[in-house]
Amino acid sequence: MAARFGTLFGSGDLARFLEHNLSKITDAVNRWNEDTLLSSPEGDICERLEQQFLLEPLVLDREGITANPVKEGFTVVRQFDEETRIRQTVVSISVPFKGDPQLLYLRPSTFTHSPPAAAELGNELTIEWMGPLNSDARQIRLGLDRQLDEIQRWVNWSTTQIKAYNPSAKQKIINEIQARKARLLANRNIQGALGFPMRERPDAATYSVPIKRKTIVPQKLTAPAKPFQPEPALAEAHYEAALEVLRNQRNALERAPGTSAKMGEEEIRNLLLIGLNSHFEGQAAGEVFNNTGKTDILIRVDDRHIFIGECKIWKGSKTILDTLDQLLGYLTWRDTKAALLLFIRSGAPGDVMPKAIAKFREHPNYKRDGRHSTEERHDFVFHANGDMSREIKIAFLPFHLPKDPHSI
């Protein structure tokens, strides 16, 4: 199939197209089956809708340009009321591009009245130069470069709008999903808490970590492959509060290397438990955060774990894979929260962290990176063993606690 030459960026208005796309998101969310929407991980639903509504900006691959065979063409001139055909040299090049091809035909808000011309076929643009026979190669190259530069200018104008649109569409997708979920939950009368109330300790004010005391109430979540059923889970706000306590304690330990160097893994873990239980308390059990057997830090509801924190000393990349397998063996409920606390007792964190993060991504249950990605914390989303729809959020917190305090 031959490519046909025509004017680019002139078949429609990009701004109107983007506005119409945004308006369709609400209807797309409302068309989801109720049980599917409630039972599926929010991140998976977002990804599906983002594939539908987010647009990939155009990118010209000027390094991948190839020249096509030179041809002869004709131009028609009129002399003395007669038309004369004059032979011309026709040089064309193929320019690979990435991005959404429909953007080639939508006029951006910034434009000129002389849009460029080219032929689009598949993932390539073909640009032509026509001139007198035996034209100078340098002149031809300058002519083709001018056309390329003009197309690039229009692509840049289009990309500016797409980069403003995509975050808006992404946020609208999240808002519409959450709003519809809230309506469905309200209709089913299950927006209340699921029986894991918390109470404040009267002596909580004596604890020095500067975060506001929280009351933990598990949220009701879902089960896949059947009508939506509520399941207990640690609320996101309380998960973040627990991680904040751990982060503050980590910082305190790192600022006291002389003390932390003398502590063993169990002593550090028990110190973390003391801090957590100074901020959280369960009505059914005296201590919400406790340890049982080889599990370091956990919350249980009805003999199920809804939060687990594993403390491990870095002994090479295998530490991460072994610990992840251990965590995934414990965590089987949807949207369960976990934390992997890595004690780096030898070596530089800058060397250890990239190796550890790479092992998270190599694990077969890895789905995507999570919200946080810093030197202090890196989040991941995994799926439960044998069930892609059951998501597990794992926060990776490194602790730099060298045995030799002088190595810092």
**320-366: per-residue pLDDT in tens?**
999 898 888 776 555 578 899 999 998 888 899 999 999 999 999 99
Percent of the chain clearing pLDDT 90 (strictly above): 41
Percent of the chain clearing pLDDT 70 (strictly above): 78
Does pLDDT of 133 surpass 50?
yes
Answer with the one of 183, 216, 235 that is the final residue of a domain: 183
Greatest Cα pair distance, the chain, in angstroms, is 104
Q: How many domains does the chain have?
A: 2
Buried b (16+ CB within 10 A) or exposed e, 128-161: bbbbeeeeeeeebeebbeebbebbbebbebbbeb
- Residue 246 near residue 297 (C-beta atoms within 8 A): no
Q: Which tens digit of pLDDT belongs to each residue from 267-305?
A: 888 888 888 877 766 433 334 454 444 557 776 655 555
Nearest CA-CA partner of 277 in 198, 166, 331: 198
What is the structure's pLDDT at 4? 64
Q: Please tell me which residue, 216 or 172, carries the higher pLDDT value.
A: 172
Q: Please tell me which residue, 358 or 374, carries the higher pLDDT value.
A: 358
Does pLDDT of 253 surpass 60?
yes
216 and 177 in a common domain: no
Q: Which residues contact 24 (CB under 8 A, 6 or more apart)?
A: 53
* Conformation bin of residue 122: beta by default, left when phi > 0, alpha when psi is -120 to 50: left
What is the structure's pLDDT at 297? 79
What is the structure's pLDDT at 326? 83
359 and 214 in a common domain: yes
- Residue 70 near residue 79 (C-beta atoms within 8 A): no
199 and 111 in a common domain: no
Nearest CA-CA partner of 83 in 91, 71, 94, 75: 75
SS3 annotation, the chain: CCCCEEECCCCEEHHHHHHHHHHHHHHHHHCCCHHHHHHCCHHHHHHHHHHHHCCCCCEECHHHCEECCCEEEEEEEEECCEEEEEEEEEEEEEEEEECCHHHHHEECCCCCCCCCEEEEECCEEEEEEEECCCCCHHHHHHHHHHHHHHHHHHHHHHHHHHHHHHHHHHHHHHHHHHHHHHHHHHHCCCCCCCCCCECCCCCHHHCCCCCCCCCCCCEECCCCCCCCCCCEECCHHHHHHHHHHHHHHHHHHHCCHHHHCCCCHHHHHHHHHHHHHCCCCECCCCCCCEEECCEEEEEEECCEEEEEEEEEECCCCHHHHHHHHHHHHHCCCCCEEEEEEEEECCCCHHHHHHHHHHHHHHCCCEEEEEEEECCCCEEEEEEECCEEEEEEEEEEEEEECCCCHHHC
Confidence of residue 73 (pLDDT cuts 50, 70, 90): confident
Rounded-to-integer distance, Cα 211 and Cα 332, Å: 30
What is the structure's pLDDT at 380? 95
Burial class of 186 by CB neighbour count within 10 A (0 to 12, 13 to 18, 19+): exposed
C-alpha gyration radius of the chain: 30
Q: Please tell me which residue, 254 or 77, carries the higher pLDDT value.
A: 254
Q: Structural domain of residue 202, as residue ranges?
A: 192-407
214 and 173 in a common domain: no
Q: Which tens digit of pLDDT belongs to each residue from 147-201?
A: 999 999 999 999 999 999 999 999 999 999 999 988 888 776 544 434 444 444 4
360 and 308 in a common domain: yes
Mode of pairing for the β-strands spanning 304-313 and 336-344: parallel
240 and 127 in a common domain: no
Rounded-to-integer distance, Cα 308 and Cα 326, Å: 11
CA-to-CA dists, residue 235 to 197, 220, 238, 297, 307, angstroms: 12, 9, 5, 17, 10
Location of structure tokens 């530069």: 149
The residues that bridge with 87 in the sheet, in sequence order, are: 74
Confidence of residue 221 (pLDDT cuts 50, 70, 90): very low
Rounded-to-integer distance, Cα 92 and Cα 98, Å: 20
Answer with the one of 131, 162, 183 that is the final residue of a domain: 183
231 and 174 in a common domain: no
Both tokens of 244, joined, read 């904040």
162 and 107 in a common domain: yes
201 and 174 in a common domain: no
259 and 118 in a common domain: no
Both tokens of 155, joined, read 């692509």
**Which of 126-135, 206-215, 330-339, 354-363 tops mean pLDDT?**
354-363
Rounded-to-integer distance, Cα 34 and Cα 188, Å: 11
147 and 89 in a common domain: yes
Distance between the two ends of the chain, CA-based, in angstroms? 66
Burial class of 15 by CB neighbour count within 10 A (0 to 12, 13 to 18, 19+): middle
204 and 168 in a common domain: no
Answer with the one of 142, 160, 183 that is the final residue of a domain: 183
Average pLDDT taken over every residue of the chain: 81
pTM: 0.60
